[in-house]
Structure 1
Amino acid sequence: MFSKMVRNDFLRNKVVTTAVFVFITMAVILAASAINNIANLIQSMAELQERAVPADITQMHSGEFDQSKIDQFTEEHPEYIAMQETMVLLTFDGSHIHFGADQTMAGTVQDISFVVQNEKFDFILDLNNEKLDVQEGEVAVPIYFMQQYDLQIGDTITVKNERYEKEFVISEYARDFEMNSSFTSSKRFVLNQTDYDEMLTMQAGVLEYLIEFKLQDGADSQAVQTAYIEAGLPANGPTVGGAVFLIFNALSDAAVAMVIILISILLIIIASLCIRLSFLATLDEDVREIGVMKAIGISKKDIKKVFLNKYRIMSVIAGVIGYLLSFVVVNLFNGNMKLYLSSDLSGNLKYVLSLAAPLLIYLMIVMYCKKVLKRIDNISAVEALRSSVMDSGKKRKYRLSLMKNHFFTTNIYMGIRDVWKRFKLYRLLFFIFIVSTFMVILPINIYNTMNSPEFSTYMGIGKSDMRIDLRKSDTISEDFIKLQEELQNDADIEKYAAHITSSYQVKNTEGSWDYINIEIGDFSVFPLKYLEGRAPEAEGEIAISYANASEDALNRKVGDDLIVKAGGKEQTLTVTGIYQDITNGGKTAKAHTSLGINPEAVLWYVVTMDVAPGVDTQEKMNYYQTNYDNAQVNDIKDYTQQTLGNIIDQMRTIVIGGIAIAFIVIILITALFLRMLLSKDMSQIAIMRSIGLTSQNIRHQYMAGTLLILLLGIIVGVLAANYLGEFLVSMAMSSMGAARIELVNVVWQTWLLCPLALMLVVGITIYVSCKVTVQDDLSVILRR
């Protein structure tokens, strides 16, 4: 009997059942896809790490050094160090790398280096995660450049400067554990030993070194770094731990998985509310049947079982379908992973972990249904047989009299009045409109923020029109001075600021010395937004990044002292401010020029500038790129986009997906809600039509009420996306060095385009949903 009742309920409520089923299925698809993505990420990262055998500590260095001292240091610490290897890099400016129809890589923000394969560890792999074996006359190109410049296997690149020129055939794409990510500022091209030796002999590029250590299992990397510094070994460059490379590799896909999980949670909430709407509609229709069942002695438990079984069956079927479809949908999100981490994602871990999504959602739906079904306990047999439970309760008086309406047409006013009278009923729809708007606006705001020039402030860079980075060369100091003199006399340049970044020793909380990258210059020209305090303005002042200020780093606050060693002398600096920076692991600092340059450890020379009004920025960029061979010239927007890499592209996919899901949700929920409302109001509709109101008049009333709820939902949803969204994004980004993200809100998108699109979709749904119902036979309805 009960199975027959469940089957009949399915057949009778096809629209309701379909809507609930779709939401549960979509929630399972997204949740399982996100878990699938995470499982693939864990598997691919483990495989890449196993094959590449990355270094645990990488010390970048430029300048001469004695390898024998490093060998001695390694031999003295066998309890910590398992292996040591020094990779020699030949670094070129992007303008010296030619490809295609006379194109160069001059616009790249990456340092380009040519290397040969390591012998012991830190191997560079092909797309099958096998060690690259490059033949003479060939080159393996980093995946980053393959994507950026659309380079294909079989194409050629030419390395050409005043000392050297040679053409290489692209034979493989290089998957580089340490330098895969766009967040790392260097990329390695792999050559055959013979070609590399020729390039080295001709002194074609600038020599740089990666002094790498592979530690024993369980060894303390910080202890090794401290011992390395105390031994006075070469360190003219940043030191990077293996954990940083791991984070950079996982960052893009992990961020995508987090956003998908958030959307999935929102869908589960919507599905739960949808079930509530469905149950209220069914309860209102079946209240007399429930009364009959109670009157003939059927227990409350068995009555609840009838309704609960429906959602149990629905959740199981939706769970199975969603679980299977998730393995198709996940391909929309793991393309980046297949390219950068592992081409083979066929492991079994994802099949097991992804089962958690349908099982968890099934339990949540069943528990929620049990809570909603407690309403049946309050229905007595007598009342159920006599009236509708939805109409029971204390009568209220309302002040919205039709006679007092002087602003709206009668139909619109009656729709608004209905919302006021029955807001408790409409509040479910109101909440769903808020969630749907949030689902649309938040991804758009994140995408706009990443594409905005303002995002440079989260990279420790003041907002400007152009940025010139001088690459390391024999004449870099002279070029830096010459560039500033030219900018001073260039009428097309409104203002500029020059900065030099060097590596310094800094005393940590334990009293030992660490290395820190400190930028000196005038920070008032292109100011940053500081979390606390201000920029360094006077002698003995320094500002540090949020990541450096944290307890697990330097553990400093505004007003604290920081001891820095510059030129062999210790200087005590006062922390004046804390700013956000997601580059270089988030650990940077900015100091007053009185600190002085550390000439043996200069890392970057950077000049930022604004062009005068009316000047073509691109034309000015081309001029300085042409006149300074060793310069990399970019506008700030292009610089941030190259650094963020494919996170922006993946975010674009999420924006499109979020909008599509939100529209599907709104269409189904609006149709479901109207079905419940029209079913409940059928007698009232019949009376209105009997006194002369047309179907169009009635439809306009429901449209006015629903669009009012939508308008209120949009307003709250946009505000939630702006403020709650900022909080959620800031929480996610705090681990990277940005603790207070201000999302960019493009007004015409968030307050005009998106609301109009939502209102159009809801308006069409209301028109279609009301069209059939309000034309039913009056005689049948009035006889009920």
Structure 2
Amino acid sequence: MFLKIVKNDFIRNKIVTMTVFVFITMAVILAASAINNIANLIQGMSDLQESAVPSDITVMHAGEYDQAEIDQFTDQYSDHIAMQETMFLQNIDGSNIHFGQNQTMAGTIQDISFVVQNKEFDFILDLDNEKLDVKEGKVAVPIYFMEQHDLKIGDTITVKSGGYEKEFAISDYARDFEMNSSLTSSKRFVINQNDYDEMLELQGGELEYLIEFKLNENGDSAAVQTAYIEAGLPANGPIIGGKIFTMFNAMSDMAVAIVIIFISILLIVIASLCIRLTFLATIDEDIREIGVMKAMGISKKDIKKVYLNKYRVISVAAGIIGYLLSFAAVNLLNGNMRLYISSDLSGGLKYVLSLIAPLLVYFMIVMYCQRILKSIDKISAVEALRSDIMERGKNRKYSFPLLKNKFLSTNIYMGMRDVWKRFKLYRLLFVIFIVCTFIVILPLNIYNTMNSPEFSTYMGIGKHDMRIDLRRTDSITEDFIKLQEELKNDSDIEKFAAYITSSYQVKNAEGSWDYINIEIGDYSVFPLKYLEGRAPEGEGEISLSFANAAIDGLNKKVGDEVTVRAGDEEQTLSVTGIYQDITNGGKTAKAHTSLGVNEEAVLWYIVSMDMAQGVDIREKMDYYQNAYDSAQVNDIKEYTGQTLGNIIEQMSLIVIGGIVIAVIIAVLITAQFLRMLLSKDMSQIAIMRSMGLTSKNIQHQYMAGTMMVLILGIIVGVLASNYLGEFLVSMAMSSMGAAKIELINVAWQTWLLCPLVLIVVVGFTISVCCKVTAEDDLSVVLRS
């Protein structure tokens, strides 16, 4: 019997049932896709790590070194260290790598190195996660550059550096566990040993070393790093732990998964509100039937089961379909993962974990339905048979009389008056419009923030027009001095500031020594926004990045002291400020020039500048790129775009998806709400029509009321995106080194374009829904 009642209810309420079904299905698809994506990421990262065997500690060094000392250190700490290998890198400037029609890789923010495959660990892989074996005359190009310059296997690149010139045919994509991500500032091209020896002999590139350690299962990474530093072994570059590479590899896909899970949670909320809306309409229509069933002696449990079974069936069906469709939907999300992490994502883990989504959604919907159905317990058989049962307890006082309306048209006034008098009913629609706006605006604001020049403040650099990075060459110091002199005499340059970053030793919270990258320069020219305190302005002052100041870093606050060592000289510096920085693992620092440059461990020279008004930035960039061959010249937007890379591309897909989902929600919910509202108001509409009001007059009343709710929902939704959205994004980004994100709000998008789309879509839906009702037979309605 119950199945027959459920079947008849499906037939009677096709539109409502399909609306709820669509939302539950969409929620399951998104939730299962996100979980599927996370499962793929776990499996892919595991496979990549197993094949690549990445190092646990990587020391970057340029200059002389003694391998015998490193071997002796490895033997001394053999209880921690399983293997040690030193990779030789020949650094080639991007302007010396030619491809296509006279194109070069000049302008890239990445340090480009040519290497030979390692023998013991830290292998560079092909797209099948097999160890690369590059033949003579061939080269394996990092995925980052294959994508950025649209290179294909079979294309050629030519290296021209000093007296060296050679053409290489691209044989493979290079998947590099340690340097895959755009957030790492180096990329490795793999060539054959013979080609490498020829390049080395002709001094094609500048030598640099990666001194790498693979630890035993119980090896202590911190203890080995401390011992390495205290032994005074070569390390004029940063020392990087393996966990940072894992985080960088997973970051973009994990960020996408988190956003999708958040949207799916909002969809579950909407599905729940939709069910509540349906129950209000259904119970209102079936109130007499409920009274009859109670009078016949049918128990409250059995009556509730009639309504509950319907949503159990919907949840099960939507869960199964959503679960199956999620495997097709996830292919739209994991293209980046298939390229950078693993081409084969066919493991069984995702099938098991993805089941969490439909099961969770089912239990949430059923529990919510049971909660709503408690209202049936309060209805007695006698009350249910009275025609005014659903009006009990309502305030009958007449407010906003029509006679007092002096400014608005009658129809608009009556529509807005209806919203005020029945706000409890309209608040469901209000909440849903807020959620729709939130789904559109938050991803859009995140995308705009990442694309904005102002995002540089989260990368530890002040806002400016252009920057020049000088690479390590024999003439780097002379070039740095010459560049500053030229900028002083260049009338096109409004202002500039020079910065030098060196590696220093710093005493950590445990009292042992770590390495830290410290930049010195004048921070008043391009000021940063500080979370706390200010920039270092005087002798003995330093500011720390958020990640460096955190408990798992140096554990310092503004006013604390930091001990820094360069060579044999120690200095105690006072912390004046804490800033945000997502680069270099989030652990950087800035000090007053009185600290001095650690000449033995200079990492890079940077000059930031602003152009005078009317100057063509692109033309000026080309000039300085040609004048300084070893320099890397970028405008700040290009710099942030290259650093964030595919994270921005992934976010653009979420923006499009959010708009599509919001439009579908707005249409379906508005249609369902109006169907419920018009059903409740059927007799009232009939009376208005019998008094001479046209269908257009009635339509305008509902249009005015619903549009007022929509506009209020849009306003609250935009404000929630700006303030609550900032809080949520800041929470997610704090692990990367940015604890307070200020989202960029493009006014014409958030206050004009997106609201206009929602207004047009909702307005069209209202006009269609109200038109159908206006054609009902008056005599039938009035008799009922």
Class of the TM-score when normalised by the shorter of the 2 chains: over 0.9
Match status 1:224 vs 2:221? no
Q: Deviations over 1:331-360 (max 9, x none)?
A: 111000000000000000000000000000
State the partner residue of 1:462: 462
Q: How does 1:656-667 map to 2 (within 5 A)?
A: 656-667=656-667
Contact residue 495 and residue 609 of structure 2 kept, 8 A: yes
Instruction: Supply the AA of the counterpart residue of 1:52.
Output: A
Determine the structure 2 residue equivalent to 1:5: 5
Name the counterpart of 1:754.
754
Q: Give, as a single letter, the amino acid of the residue that structure 1 aligns with 2:227.
A: A
Shift of 1:389: 3.2
Rounded to whole Å, the distance in 1 between the matches of 2:523 and 2:505 is 22
The aligned amino acid for 2:626 is: T
2:496–2:608: 8 Å Cα contact kept in structure 1?
Answer: yes
State the alpha-carbon separation in 2 of the partners of residues 740 and 186 from structure 1: 28
Q: How many residues align?
A: 784
The DSSP-based 3-state class of the residue aligned with 1:462 is coil
Q: Secondary structure at the match of 2:744?
A: coil
Match for residue 655 of structure 2? Answer: 655
Q: TM-score, normalised by structure 2?
A: 1.00
**Which residue does the alignment assign to 1:304?**
304
CA distance, structure 1, for counterparts of residue 84 and residue 593 of structure 2: 37
CA contact (8 A) 1:467 1:609 kept: yes
Contact 2:580/2:739 (<8 A) preserved: yes
Verify: 1:782 aligned to 2:766, yes or no. Answer: no
Aligned positions of 1:83-98 closer than 5 A: 83-98=83-98
Q: Cα deviations across residues 140-172 of structure 1 (Å, max 9, x unaligned)?
A: 000000000000000000000222100000000
The answer to whether the 8 A contact 1:566-1:595 is kept is: no
AA aligned opposite 1:322: G
Q: Give the Å deviation of 1:567.
A: 4.1
| One-letter amino acid of the counterpart of residue 678, structure 2 | L
The letter for the 2-side match of 1:504 is: Y
Instruction: Identify the residue that residue 419 of structure 1 maps to in structure 2.
Output: 419
Counterpart-to-counterpart distance in 1, 2:120 and 2:388: 79
Correspondence for 1:506: 506
| CA shift digits 1:485-508 (9 cap, x unpaired) | 000000000000000000000011
Q: How does 1:375-454 map to 2 (within 5 A)?
A: 375-454=375-454
> What is the Cα deviation at residue 220 of structure 1?
1.1
Letter aligned with residue 27 of structure 1? A
**Matched residue, 2:323:** 323
Contact 1:500 1:604 in 2 (8 A): yes
1:626-705 correspondence runs (5 A): 626-705=626-705
Q: Spell out, residue by residue over 1:404-445, the C-alpha distance to the aligned partner (whole angstroms, 9 max, x if none).
A: 111110000000000010001100100111111111100000
Q: Which residue is equivalent to 2:716?
A: 716
Distance across 1 between alignment mates of 2:395 and 2:594: 78
Cα distance in 2 for partners of 1:101, 1:733 equals 40
Match of 1:581 in 2: 581
One-letter amino acid matched to 2:608: T
Structure 2 SS opposite 1:428: helix
Counterpart-to-counterpart distance in 1, 2:722 and 2:7: 45
What amino acid is the match of 1:649?
A: E
Q: Any conservation in 2 of the 1:28–1:322 contact (CA below 8 Å)?
A: yes
Asked if the contact 2:162/2:203 (under 8 Å) is kept, the reply is: no
Alignment partner of 1:333 is 2:333? yes
Write the letter of the residue equivalent to 1:348: G
User: How many angstroms does 1:396 deviate by?
Assistant: 3.3
Matched, 1:479 2:479: yes
CA distance in 2, matches of 1:386, 1:514: 80
Paired position in structure 2 for 1:593: 593
What is aligned with 2:16?
Answer: 16
Moved more, 561-570 or 68-77: 561-570
More displaced, 526-535 or 769-778? 769-778
Q: Secondary structure at the match of 1:4?
A: helix
Structure 1: distance between partners of 2:472 and 2:370: 68
Identity %: 77
Q: Check conservation: 1:566, 1:596, Cα contact below 8 A.
A: no
Amino acid at match of 2:136: E
- Find the aligned partners of 1:388 and 1:526 in 2 and give their Cα distance: 70
In structure 1, give the amino acid aligned to 2:688. Answer: M
Distance in 2 of aligned mates of 1:649 and 1:388:
56
| Partner AA of 1:448 in structure 2 | N
Q: Quick one: distance in 2 between partners of 1:278 and 1:546? A: 49
- 1:85 partner amino acid: E
Matched position secondary structure for 2:626: helix
2:365, 2:389 → 1: CA distance? Answer: 24
> Deviation string for 1:301-346 (max 9, x for gaps)?
0000000000000000000000000000001110000000000000
Residue 212 of structure 1 aligns to a residue whose secondary structure is strand
Contact 2:184 2:584 in 1 (8 A): yes
Tell me if structure 2 keeps the 8 A contact 1:287–1:388.
no
- 1:117-158 Cα offsets, whole Å, 9 max, x none, are 000000000000000000000000000000000000000000
**How does 1:73-84 map onto structure 2 within 5 Å?**
73-84=73-84
Hey, what's the Cα distance between the residues in 2 that align with 1:545 and 1:294?
68
Q: 1: distance between equivalents of 2:199 and 2:161? A: 11
Q: Report how far residue 369 of structure 1 moved.
A: 0.3
Q: In structure 1, list runs of 5 or more residues that go unmatched.
A: none
CA distance in 1, matches of 2:411, 2:393: 27
* 3-state SS, counterpart of residue 217 of structure 2: coil
Q: CA deviation at 1:206?
A: 0.6
Q: Unaligned regions of 5+ residues in structure 2, if any?
A: none
Secondary structure at the residue paired with 1:386? coil
CA distance, structure 2, for counterparts of residue 388 and residue 448 of structure 1: 53
Shift of residue 378, structure 1, vs aligned partner: 1.4
Distance in 1 between residues matched to 2:395 and 2:215, nearest whole Å: 76
Judging changes above 3 Å, is the alpha-carbon distance between structure 1 residues 315 and 388 closer, same or farther for their aligned structure 2 residues? farther
For 1:220 and 1:728, locate their aligned partners in 2 and report how far apart those are by CA, in whole Å.
Answer: 35
Distance between the aligned counterparts of 2:14 and 2:775, measured in 1?
Answer: 20
Contact 2:29/2:323 (8 A) holds in 1? yes
**Residues 284 and 388 of structure 1 are in contact (CA less than 8 Å); yes or no, is this contact kept in structure 2?**
no
1:1-27 Cα deviation digits (max 9, x unpaired)? 211111110000011001000000000
Deviation at 1:386, TM superposition (A): 1.5
CA distance in 1, matches of 2:163, 2:520: 34
Q: Distance in 2 between matches of 1:421 and 1:299?
A: 35
Other structure's SS at 2:385 match: helix
Aligned equivalent of 1:367: 367
Displacement of 1:388: 4.2
SS at match of 1:571: strand
Q: CA deviation at 1:774?
A: 2.0
Using structure 1 for the length normalisation, give the TM-score: 1.00
Say if 1:192 and 1:608 are closer, same or farther in 2 by CA, change over 3 A.
same
Residue 96 of structure 2 aligns with an amino acid whose one-letter code is: H
- Three-state SS of the structure 1 residue aligned to 2:3 is helix
- Separation of aligned partners in 1, 2:567 and 2:614: 44
Q: Secondary structure at the match of 1:263?
A: helix
Distance 2:9 2:613 in 1: 70
Range with greater deviation from structure 2 (497-506 or 752-761): 752-761
In the TM superposition, 1:68-467 aligns within 5 A as 68-467=68-467
Write the distance in 2 (CA, Å) between the matches of 1:544 and 1:634.
Answer: 25
- For 1:779, the aligned partner's letter is S
Q: Secondary structure at the match of 2:557?
A: coil
| Residue 548 of structure 1: aligned partner | 548
* Counterpart residue type for residue 596 of structure 2: G
Q: Distance in 2 between matches of 1:655 and 1:119?
A: 44
Tell me which amino acid in the other structure corresponds to 2:469: D
Distance 2:397 2:86 in 1: 84
Distance 2:580 2:320 in 1: 45
Q: Which amino acid aligns with 1:214?
A: K
